[in-house]
Amino acid sequence: MLGLGSGIFIAVVTRMVETSRLAFGPYAFYGNGALIVPAIGSGLAIYALWTWVLRAGRPRRHLAWSALGLYLGLGTGVFVTGGIAIEGLFFTGLLFVVPVALAAFGALTLLDPRLASPGRASQNALVLTLVVLVGLFLAVFPFPPLGVGLIAGAFIAVGRHAGPSSVIGLGALLVAVLLAAGLALPLVFFA
């Protein structure tokens, strides 16, 4: 249910931004510029949902159920808020949720065992930094949802083992990193 609600929320915000005249400097977020909302929003939603699932001790299959809910919620929300075709119901989640979830699961699977074993803090920090840097690169060049997923997966792996107040701080840091990946890095590379 949380995944479905998150997807609908992201779709509603996307539609609001799309129909606005929101622009800052070289960035126009209205029209096609609003696609940054589901691109970044899906990574944030996966982080919040999966961190909650793992910290609550729920089975790993709940990760898939929450991603499916996000997929369906995003597609349904886009369709209901003015999507022009039924295909949008399936395509939006396929573009923005599935690659993010797959990349996040891969990063989580790679990093979680490393972070669970104590005593390798410097190695863990290096691996996390490397994964986030690769995610930042992927978020700019070939396919941004893969980069968003790698970054979110690294943050989920850390958030799973962090204290309760640190999870919120990590979420805020994730917002900053994803905004940098979606706004600042493209400006550096393509300006």
Confidence of residue 137 (pLDDT cuts 50, 70, 90): confident
Q: Among all chains, which residue has been given the structure tokens 């998150």? A: 6
Q: Provide the pLDDT for residue 119.
A: 64
For residues 101-130, one letter each, b for 16 or more C-beta atoms within 10 angstroms of the residue's C-beta and e for the rest, the string is bebbbebbeebbeebeeeeeeeebeebbee
- Whether 118 has a pLDDT exceeding 80, the answer reads no
**DSSP H helical segments within the chain, as ranges?**
2-18, 36-55, 61-80, 87-96, 98-116, 121-140, 144-161, 164-179, 185-190
CA distances from 134 to 54, 142, 143, 168 (A): 24, 12, 12, 23
pLDDT, tens digit, 9 for 90 and up, residues 35-87: 888 889 999 999 999 999 998 889 989 999 999 999 988 888 877 777 666 77
Confidence of residue 120 (pLDDT cuts 50, 70, 90): low
**Mean pLDDT, range 105-128, rounded to an integer:** 77
Closest CA relative to residue 55, chosen from 108, 131, 1? 108
